[in-house]
Amino acid sequence: MTLALMVEIVVAVLLLVTLAISLVLNRRLGNLRANQDEMRRLIGDFDKALTKARQGLTELKTASATADTAHEERMKQAKILRDELGFMIETGDRLADRLAGEASGNRAARQDRPAAAERMVSDRASMERVMDRVTTERPEMARNGAGAPVTPFPPKKPSIAPVASAGGNGRDFKIEPRSEAERELLTALRQAR
């Protein structure tokens, strides 16, 4: 074998090895290109999902702000109602105490009845001021009429008025007819004794 033949055989073997490596590299590059297209598709899908997530987050923030505003409004209304109910309870307690005093037949309470009637009138005036304030702070109640606070006392004269007697001492009192609720309360107080 001559030297030229050996060189040609080595070159041929090297060409075969190069050809084999080229085929392997070509396959890998084809796979990489196929994966590159799939990767682009995945990145596009991820970008769309990210855009939807941002939009959803914006909507969630808006809904949260709206709910927070509604919650604050409800809290304001609840505080107003709490104050109003507290005032009504205080007034009711005072009136119940006065009715109990009237029913007990205590002479000191009988002499103090004109002052009690004046206090009842002043309590009614202060309650009307609270009602005016509530309707100005919550105009929707005044417009709709629904849920508007109800005045617990119908407008009337004080239940006890001094009547001039024959002696003219001014100690005789005329008791006006009582409402059914007052009669029931007095009956319950009498039974409690």
Backbone angles phi and psi of 130, in degrees to 5: -65, -40
Nearest to 98 by CA among 85, 84, 83, 115: 115
Both tokens of 183, joined, read 């009669």
pLDDT in tens, 5-29: 999 999 999 999 999 999 999 999 9
Is 7 a domain residue?
Answer: no
* Tally of domains in the chain: 1
Q: Which of 87 and 173 is assigned the larger pLDDT? A: 87
pLDDT at 37: 82
User: What's the rounded Cα separation, in Å, for the pair 155 and 179?
Assistant: 13
Give the 3-state secondary structure of residue 152.
coil
Q: Can you tell me whether residue 162 is helix, strand or coil?
A: strand
Q: Is residue 20 part of a domain?
A: no
Residue 101 placed within a domain:
yes
86: in domain? no
Q: What is the pLDDT of residues 52-105, one digit of tens each?
A: 999 999 999 999 999 999 999 999 999 999 998 888 898 888 888 888 877 776
Distance CA(35)–CA(31), nearest Å, equals 6
Alpha helices in 105-164 (DSSP H): 107-111, 113-137, 139-144
Asked if residues 84 and 130 have their Cβ atoms less than 8 Å apart, the reply is yes
Q: Is 27 a member of any domain?
A: no
4 contact partners, CB below 8 Å, separation of at least 6: none
Compute how many other C-beta atoms are within 10 angstroms of the C-beta atom of residue 159. Answer: 20
Confirm whether 115 is domain-assigned. yes
**pLDDT tens for residues 22-64?**
999 999 998 888 888 888 889 999 999 999 999 999 999 999 9
Long-range contact pairs involving 90-94 (C-beta distance under 8 Å, separation at least 24):
91/123, 91/127, 91/152, 92/152, 94/119, 94/123
pTM over cut 0.75:
no
56: Cα within 13 Å, side-chain hemisphere: 6
Residue 16 lies in a domain: no
Is 97 domain-assigned? yes
Q: Return the structure tokens found at 29.
A: 């590059």
Tokens of 16: 């075969």
The pLDDT value recorded for residue 53 is 94
**Residue-range definition of the domain harbouring residue 133:** 91-192
